[in-house]
Structure 1
Amino acid sequence: MHQLAKRVFYAEYIKCLETKKPFYLSIPEDVVCKHCEQQYKFTCSHMINVDHDLTKYFDKIYLEKHHNGFIADVLLQSERNGILFVEFAVTHRCEEEKLNSGIRILEYTISEEFDINSIKAHKFRSNDYKIQLHNFRSRAQKQSIHNKNCKQLINVFLISNNQKAILHEIKANIDMKSQIRGNPPYVEVLGIKYGNKQAQTLLFIKKVREANFNKIPIKNCYLCKFHGINGVDNAVFCKLKKLPTPSNAAADCGKYSPMKSMEECVALDAKNEEAARKFKPRNMMRRRSSWSQNY
């Protein structure tokens, strides 16, 4: 079986070289997608299978060739790309000394004659459990691999003309302008959406306060000195109304009173959290279903 495998590989590879047909090795590689780099200012990483035509890398082939004290079942070589050992394991795997030599090795396990069909098909897939790659270097590529099925979500922070704020989720595979209603005066792309609802709420609060202290027109309950701890489903508890309310209610509130510094905001947050630990009103939990789910 061992002799059959390496001689079939040798004959098929020679045939590919002579007829200029490919002999593929499919390798999973890290690819950095740059499709959203210009519009959204971020890239994302993906693992994709890349087909490499071995005949483009190695134009010489030898059976049972000696190299650096080792004997390869099949040795592929070129002046530009060096050496690749192709080893066929039937009764035993490559010895540790050969694997630790630093030489690139493609090891293919043969357990039955059917396994030779991959050789005749001129394609090895490295995700096949029968194939092991040793001493190969993975090089991250940067290219646009975006497609219409991309499910990446992006966070965009918006402030409208009426000074209300929203943390908006948009799809990376659709133009941003078509996903945003109206013409908001302030739009900030925050990058890939991550974290649970609590993390998203904290991000929203952070951006609201940053915008305010950067002199961007905004009114929000998270800036008001009368806001309490976050209510159920992220509503803000208003100490004046004694009720949870959407944070954008501040835009229409006659008693809105914004804090004057980030330090004041942080101090109020700590005070609210301390109060919440001491007092958990049961009637608030009973009213959960009727509370607003808006920030």
Structure 2
Amino acid sequence: MMKNIYGINEQGKLIDIKDVIKKSSEKYFCINCSENLVPKKGEKKAHHFSHKNETDCNFETYLHALSKKMFFDKYNECLQLKKPFFLKYPTKRMCISCRDINIECELKPELNLYDLTKRFDIISIEKYDENFIPDIKLASSKFGDVIFIEFAVTHRSELNKLKSGVRIMEFDINSESDLNFLLQEEIQFDQTNADFHNFIFQNKEDNYVQKSDCNKLFQIFSIYKDGEALIRKLKMSEIALEMENENSIVHEVDIIKTLSLTDSYIKLIKKYSRKGTNIRNCHACINSQKNLRYNQIFPFYCNKLDKEISNTNDGTKCIEFSKTLHM
């Protein structure tokens, strides 16, 4: 036996069982099959409506009908009373204070509220729109654009509808509680039971954080006039000072990635060595190899000098340094 939380009264208004007064003479009907409902508000079982007589009404079709009516009634009420019905969505924010050195940072998204009723002032249920019949259609009388609202109870929207380019909000509905968001007159872009198709939100770019105030660490690779190469993690204010160093000839700044600094260091040394940059580092020397007895103190071995190397920048002072031709 179905146990519905919602029914409709004689005026066609959607009624929650919690709002029904005990022993009221008002009649209630099923939103799906239109049969009489009996409110059950006992002391032991959860309050609900049940069908007065046996019926072939099923819960899935009831949920689908309930979803459409609840959305329609709530949105239409907002239109009539000039109340907002919000879509809360995130805006991606990019800090471009360091764009001059090819660095852009993605910040925490900004949450925005958009009142759908300001643009979409027409609502209809299962009204044909070109090749499709959406559960709910929101339309703009001024601009002509539409949004489809779909409720996935037993199946999701067809692929050709999703690929049509029409903006679609699709909600997974498994119980009446999945519709509680409508009571708040707000749809959230990140709510767990919602999918949004063909929506495009503009990103925001600005100098949100000045270089001098940024506490984020960045990776900076520097090559100096004597051929020394260093890679470090520095704040942007420290990087600005480093880039003014008259002894350095190359700077490459990047956002720190999962790649270790050591791996990044070796890749960058090889990159600039291939370019012909004056870089005298053991990673770029034909005589060096990885120390087979590797430890943290002596990671490299020099075949020419027959000794272990603790600092690969020793190549700046090494008379045997010879840049490898193949890296």
CA spacing shift, 1:70–1:222, aligned 2, 3 Å: closer
Equivalent runs, 1:267-282 vs 2, <5 Å: none
**1:242 paired to 2:303:** no
**1:41 paired to 2:105:** no
Q: Deviations over 1:12-65 (max 9, x none)?
A: 2234444352411536x7x47243542431336689586462334423222332
**1:169 paired to 2:169:** no
- Percent of aligned pairs sharing the same letter: 26
CA spacing shift, 1:21–1:138, aligned 2, 3 Å: closer
**Range 68-77 or range 229-238, more displaced:** 229-238
Q: CA deviation at 1:104?
A: 3.0
Asked whether the 8 Å contact 2:167–2:199 carries over to 1, the reply is no
Q: CA deviation at 1:200?
A: 1.9
Asked whether the 8 Å contact 1:110–1:116 carries over to 2, the reply is yes
2-structure distance, mates of 1:75, 1:175: 52
CA spacing shift, 1:113–1:184, aligned 2, 3 Å: same
What is the aligned partner in structure 1 of residue 247 from structure 2? 185
Q: CA deviation at 1:67?
A: 1.8
Match of 2:219 among 114, 132, 155: 155
Q: Deviations over 1:60-80 (max 9, x none)?
A: 222332222543332101143
CA spacing shift, 1:179–1:199, aligned 2, 3 Å: same
Structure with bigger helix share is 1
Q: CA deviation at 1:228?
A: 1.7
2-structure distance, mates of 1:32, 1:266: 44
CA spacing shift, 1:177–1:243, aligned 2, 3 Å: closer
1-structure distance, mates of 2:223, 2:161: 63
Q: Give, as a single letter, the amino acid of the residue that structure 2 aligns with 1:123.
A: E
CA spacing shift, 1:245–1:96, aligned 2, 3 Å: closer
CA spacing shift, 1:224–1:82, aligned 2, 3 Å: closer
2-structure distance, mates of 1:44, 1:182: 23
Asked whether the 8 Å contact 2:171–2:193 carries over to 1, the reply is yes
The size of the alignment, in residue pairs, is 252
Q: TM-score with structure 1 length normalisation?
A: 0.64
2-structure distance, mates of 1:120, 1:100: 30
What is the aligned partner in structure 2 of residue 284 from structure 1? none
Match of 1:77 among 121, 139, 148: 139
Higher RCO, Cα 8 Å, sep 6+: 1
Q: Give, as a single letter, the amino acid of the residue that structure 1 aligns with 2:65.
A: Q
What residue ranges of structure 2 are gaps of 5+ in the alignment? 1-62
Q: CA deviation at 1:82?
A: 1.0
Match of 1:209 among 266, 270, 273: 273
Q: TM-score with structure 2 length normalisation?
A: 0.59
| Aligned-CA RMSD value | 4.1
**1:90 paired to 2:153:** yes
Question: Who wins on radius of gyration, i.e. which is larger?
Answer: 2
Q: CA deviation at 1:152?
A: 6.9
2-structure distance, mates of 1:70, 1:250: 71
Q: Deviations over 1:273-293 (max 9, x none)?
A: xxxxxxxxxxxxxxxxxxxxx
